[in-house]
Amino acid sequence: MSWDLETDVVVVGAGGCGLMAAVTAATFVDGLEVVLLEKDSRQTPNSAIAGGMLQAAGTRFQKAAGIEDSPERMAEDIFRKNHHRSDPDRTLAICRKSADVVHWFADFLGLPIEFAPETDWLGHSIPRMHAHPMRSGIPLVQALREKALSLPNLTYADNTPGQGLVTDDGGAVVGILAGQPGQTQRIGCRKVVLACGGYGASHQMLQKYIPEMADAPYVGAQTHTGEGIRWGIESGAATEHMHGYQGLGFIVAGHGTRLNPGVVYDGGIMVNANAVRFEREDQGYSEWAAVVLAQPGGTVVCIWDERIHRRVEFTHTMVESTRANAIVRCDTIGEVAQRFSLDEATLTQTVEGYNRAVAEGRDPLGRELLTQPLRPPYYAARIVGALAHTQGGLKIDVYGRVLRPNGEP
């Protein structure tokens, strides 16, 4: 085969995953040549949109906080939450490497990573979140990008989207087509790493695989249009969990900013247009997306108090929402009702009923995370459910190798 360029490794996609893969490859083996392809670095990747939380078990940061954790316990928490839908070997492999990833960000990239126990994340039997002090993915991606650009054996090709895989007669991937339309180059390589995300920005693929979310607001990366998955399918790869997705039930309506889920997990409530609670609030924020969208008007009002607000107000999502005036502060429940056009008597009854449930330790909606009664002053925001990203893709083994339907790499 003839090539315009030959290299050792090509990584497709310069989000958090692709940047980590490219930097690791370029620094792990001396002399290894790496090419990193990116559609458009001006577009924010999901890893920067996200809150930058790194879930890991057995880190030195946990131990310093007096917390004993293990990869096996982390895996069991995941299996309990996803009803054992994830592959056990791959899940455990990820959990066993999780502490190394956190330490890599801190030690290799020099980021001020710290233990982040301020939110009781659903499904975690023990606190295991780590983050940058900003509680944002932005500084993580910035550090990764700076490291990638500093490596002499790593070529960062921006505005250079992948166009398709090149295979030999036996079906093995031996290269990739890349470049803008009309300027496509053939790049030969030993390995291709597909880190180009899911298909949240592809309405056609959403209609095919996740029709219930096809028309939901999408808040993920606009570059996630599913090419990598389609290339894999065309090359004979198996797929897995194509109907899976991450929803987000905490998008502030009319602003596009987000709330930290801790405003609910730590004791806040959700009410619909009728000023009543309608579901137990201690559900995962992904599940909340569909629940919120099913309410009258597709929006609900989230209400929390000063105690809760102080725990999460410093996080990046809350700072952004505050700057955008997306959160209102009210001295009374009556003021909350007025600001959001809710019936005051009904809302008062709802809050009083919730406070009684907290005091009695028994909630009629089945909520188990009952912390403290809500007290003035109150904070509130109108929120809408959205699609954050899709979770299905090409089936892989514990080494990240793409598998065929017969299970062979």
Amino acid letter, 36 = L
Which pLDDT tens digit goes with each residue over 289-300?
A: 999 999 999 999
pLDDT at 157 over 90: yes
**Averaged pLDDT, 339-366:** 98
pLDDT at position 324 is: 97
Condensed to tens digits (0 to 9), the pLDDT of residues 202-257 reads 999 999 999 999 999 999 999 999 999 999 999 999 999 999 999 998 999 999 99
- Report the share of the chain in percent with pLDDT over 90: 94
Q: What is the pLDDT of residues 32-84, one digit of tens each?
A: 999 999 999 989 999 999 999 999 999 999 999 999 999 999 999 999 999 99
Provide, rounded to the nearest whole percent, the portion of the chain with pLDDT above 70: 100
Mean pLDDT over residues 131-154, rounded?
97
> 29 pLDDT exceeds 90?
no
Q: What is the pTM of this model?
A: 0.90
Residue range 95-106, pLDDT digits in tens: 999 999 999 999
pLDDT digits (tens, 9 = 90+) for 273-285: 999 999 999 988 8
pLDDT value of position 369: 87
The residues near 143 (Cβ < 8 Å, ≥ 6 apart) are 105, 109, 110, 111
- What pLDDT does 177 receive? 98
pLDDT at 163 over 90: yes
Give the pLDDT band (50/70/90) at residue 198.
very high
C-alpha dihedral sign at 354, 301, 119, 311:
negative
Look at residue 178 and tell me whether its pLDDT is greater than 90: yes
Per-residue buried b or exposed e for 217-239, using 16+ beta carbons within 10 Å of the residue's own CB: bbbbbebbbbbbbebbeebebbb
CB neighbours of residue 40 within 10 Å: 12
Q: What mean pLDDT is predicted for residues 25-31?
A: 92
Look at residue 284 in the predicted model and tell me its pLDDT: 84
- Domains located in the chain, CATH noted: 5-191 (3.50.50.60), 246-388 (3.90.700.10)
Dump pLDDT digits (tens) for 56-68.
Answer: 999 999 999 999 9
Mean pLDDT of the region 159-188: 96
pLDDT for 55: 98
